[in-house]
Amino acid sequence: MNDNETSRLSRLTAILLQLQSRRLVTATSLAAKFDVSVRTIYRDIRALEQSGVPIITEEGKGYSLMEGYRIPPVTFSEREANALITAEQFVLKNKDASFIQDYTDAITKIKSVLRESTKDGANLLSDRIAIDQNSSYDRTSNQLSPIQLAITNFNLIKLNYQKADTDKVSERFVEPFALLTVNENWLLLAYCRLRKEFRFFRLDRIKGLQVQNDRFEPHNMTLKEYFDKMVS
């Protein structure tokens, strides 16, 4: 197999990963990512289809994989595994308990598919990395995971929120938009239906949270666009 064939095989595999990890990808974005022409991507997509991969083409939108289709588990290199283990140490210092639990469950599944030699090295590295942040292992919130799901599914959230420097708790219905982390604590940026504007809510002040079945219309902007608007 010559270098061109090897390069194309690697690209086809990478395109498959992109299709599996995203709901929809465009030929333009794939061409930019792999530094090839759009026409080359068209040929790659045809090659994948001819090999039996069920790719759905949405005219004018992009490509997606047929629902339920999955490629075999990914094999991680030692460097990739080490990067994940290092990230795990940062996560374990996080102050939100739900986030830690979900990441720990995910990293356990990832470790299960590592080669034995890579797994041994990853476990060794895990014992040899120390992150000084949140050295007391404080857990100040347990809301991050349900909020993440509410953001991606556009579900309304009911909050019991404690105001700063007071014991008073108010009930709010908010449309979750984004999450930010500041000084190891998490902030929820959401449209507050009571105040009729976007507000920041500290997760450690949320005394009760219920994700509603009601859905809201997605806000047609990015987080960067929100901050640009605030600055201007």
| Matching residue, tokens 């190891």 | 184
Number of Cβ atoms within 10 Å of the Cβ of 107: 18
pLDDT at 71 over 70: no
Residue 166, domain member (yes or no)? yes
* Res. 82: pLDDT tops 70: yes
Confidence of residue 194 (pLDDT cuts 50, 70, 90): very high
Q: Are residues 155 and 226 in the same domain?
A: yes
Longest dimension (CA), the chain: 70
| pLDDT, position 72 | 62
Least confident of 23-32, 102-111, 183-192: 102-111
- List the domain range (segments joined by +) for residue 182: 144-231
Q: What is the pLDDT of residue 52?
A: 86
The share of the chain scoring above pLDDT 90, in percent, equals 40
Answer yes or no: do 88 and 53 share one domain. no
**How does the average pLDDT of the chain come out, rounded?**
85
Domain boundary pick from 43, 65, 87: 65
pLDDT score, position 6: 55
Q: Do 58 and 82 fall into the same domain? A: no
What is the mean predicted confidence (pLDDT) over 181-205?
Answer: 91
What three-state secondary structure class fits 212?
Answer: strand
Last residue of some domain: 18, 41, 65? 65
Confidence of residue 217 (pLDDT cuts 50, 70, 90): very high
Instruction: State the sign of the Cα–Cα–Cα–Cα dihedral 105, 110, 116, 122.
Output: negative
Q: Is residue 52 part of a domain?
A: yes
Q: Pick from 15, 35, 65: which residue ends a domain? A: 65
C-alpha 150/C-alpha 215 separation (Å) is: 9
**What's the rounded Cα separation, in Å, for the pair 190 and 132?**
31
Contacts of 197 (CB under 8 A, 6+ apart): 191
Per-residue confidence (pLDDT) for residue 148, from 0 to 100: 92
In angstroms, rounded to a whole number, what is the distance separating the alpha carbons of residues 68 and 45? 19
The pLDDT, as a whole number, for residue 91 is 85
Nearest to 177 by CA among 206, 157, 203, 205: 157
* Residues 20, 84 within the same domain: no
The pLDDT confidence band at residue 190, using thresholds 50, 70 and 90, is very high
What pLDDT is recorded for position 38? 93
Query: Confidence class of residue 130 from pLDDT cuts 50, 70 and 90?
Result: low
Does any domain span residue 71?
A: no
Q: Tell me the average pLDDT across 85-91.
A: 81
CATH number for the domain spanning 19: value is 1.10.10.10
Spatial contact of 209 and 158, defined as CB atoms under 8 Å apart: yes
One domain, residues 23 and 54: yes
pLDDT at site 166 = 83
Hey, what are 196's tokens?
């009729």
Structural domain tally of the chain? 3
The answer on 165 and 227 residing in a single domain is yes
Tens digit of each residue's pLDDT (9 = 90 or more) over 91-107: 888 888 898 888 888 88
Q: Is residue 134 part of a domain?
A: no
Please check whether residue 102 lies inside any domain of the structure.
yes
CATH assignment at residue 218? 2.30.30
Residues 20 and 47 in one domain: yes
pLDDT of res. 135: 65
Same domain assignment for residues 119 and 159: no
Full-model pTM? 0.62
Q: Does any domain span residue 137?
A: no
Residue 70 lies in a domain: no
Residues 103 and 30 grouped into a single domain: no
pLDDT average, residue stretch 57-65? 89
Residue 187 lies in a domain: yes
Q: Are residues 58 and 84 in the same domain?
A: no
Residue 167: predicted pLDDT: 85
Q: Are residues 223 and 168 in the same domain?
A: yes
Same domain as 49, residue 83: no
CA pseudo-torsion sign 141, 182, 146, 197: positive
On the question of pLDDT at 69 being above 70, the answer is yes
